[in-house]
Structure 1
């Protein structure tokens, strides 16, 4: 079992102006994020626009990414898909190129919503690989809410050792913590309090534009320097509130560009922020430039 503690940065996928993956920028970003001290990188995350990447693109991205990381931090790959056979195929490929863990959405878009169906899905995948599986609670996107009872059944499966919780229900998050040690926070706006409550680590999209601050926040909480953590958090919070309430991925990607990280381009059908939204984003980022 990989120890996925700390800041696992849900990494952006940089695109050029025409919508093609810019692998040179991608490799440069990996170096910058590793140098910032992140504990892991998540390739093909939602922030990385996974739904708009082909399987071939994901495979190439993961191969290049894992090689560039070179063991300097954990590598997590999202291998979600609608078809179970495709999930297994993607997962085996990610494992073969050195991924430490796989992040996999539950069945979505009219997939099974009953607990038995979800458990069976993850059982099929878990029995096909030998590395950690990170389940994913993000009901606002999938329509599937992972209850505590379901989580307990899932963590009994081989290799299902983590749950990423992006639901934003902090009560449920703390119930997860009572059920398993493998909880990773995925809700940007609760990060400080999730870490203080004892979550193992985070998978964090917002860290794309403030990787050093994210690592510093984790280090402060780990050292129980909570007053200092709270001061830093108040600098981070305005932009986190903005990205959580606006178009998430375009906001994160633009924020990263404004801080010298990435191209700022998104792939269709996503679109860039409006001029008004962009102005508000820049205003929310000001505390980080102090």
Structure 2
């Protein structure tokens, strides 16, 4: 049983100019993020371009990452797939190399959208593994909204203990907080308020470019130093608003590159920022430099 409190950084997957994973940079990034004090790393995250990674690439990322982390923080591995048997296979592989938890999307793209169907999907995966499962509520991407009632029901399973809530609906988020399960915020622009409301922690893409600030924000909230937390938040917010409304992953990766974390390269079909988007991103990052 894992404790996924704190800053779980939804880690980028660094690519070279030809679109191949740069494992040397990957290992370098892990060390940098650990030095920043993150509490967990999410490998194969959405920010890590999971949809565009092969199963074998994910397996190698997870094996290399877990081995290098060596227990210095939690490691959450995404094992999402369209085919249930593939989810089980990916999940078991991640567990076998030492992952602390799994992150699994609901059965998106014309899968069952009724709550009984979604429950059955997770129930089968839950029965196949022995580590914690993090469900993933991101209806803007999947078309499936996980209700608080469904999350509470899922929390009765053996391993289903968390939900990552990236929907951005703070009313639903607070309903999740009233269930038996533990909640991890995934909407960048509500991070501070989710922590104040009682979220166990966050799975945070923007932490790729501001890991020290992300960890500091969590520390300030847990220490109840709210004035300082809000001051820091005001420096973070402009870039968070930009990435949430813009092309998310390319923006996060470019911001990370500008701040010394990674290559900034994306894998097709994602594209680099336009010159106008680049200028707006740089402007939004200004307060972090002050």
Q: Structure 1-normalised TM-score?
A: 0.99
User: Offset of 1:194 from its aligned partner?
Assistant: 0.2
Is 1:183 the counterpart of 2:191? The answer is no
SS in 2 for 1:144: coil
* Cα deviation code 1:144-178 (max 9, x no counterpart): 00011111111111100000000000011001001
What does 1:1-290 correspond to in 2, within 5 Å? Answer: 1-290=1-290
Q: Residues of 2 paired with 1:181 and 1:201: CA distance?
A: 13
Q: Residues of 1 paired with 2:187 and 2:69: CA distance?
A: 25
* Cα deviation code 1:167-214 (max 9, x no counterpart): 000011001001135100000000000000010000000000000000
SS in 2 for 1:51: helix
RMSD value over aligned CA atoms?
0.5
SS in 2 for 1:179: coil
The 1:207–1:141 alpha-carbon spacing in structure 2 relative to 1, beyond 3 Å, is same
Runs (4+) of structure 1 moved beyond 3 Å? none
Q: Residues of 2 paired with 1:191 and 1:23: CA distance?
A: 30
Q: Residues of 2 paired with 1:155 and 1:124: CA distance?
A: 14
Q: Residues of 2 paired with 1:259 and 1:215: CA distance?
A: 16
| Structure 2 unmatched ranges of 5 or more | none
SS in 2 for 1:76: strand
| Structure 1 unmatched ranges of 5 or more | none
Q: Residues of 2 paired with 1:64 and 1:49: CA distance?
A: 17
* Cα deviation code 1:45-83 (max 9, x no counterpart): 000000000000000000001111111100000000000
SS in 2 for 1:127: helix
* Cα deviation code 1:15-56 (max 9, x no counterpart): 000000000000000000000000000000000000000000
Contact 1:181–1:199 (CA<8 Å) still a contact in 2?
Answer: no
Q: Residues of 2 paired with 1:180 and 1:278: CA distance?
A: 43
Contact 2:151–2:181 (CA<8 Å) still a contact in 1?
Answer: no
Q: Residues of 2 paired with 1:37 and 1:112: CA distance?
A: 39
* Cα deviation code 1:194-238 (max 9, x no counterpart): 000010000000000000000000000000000000000000000
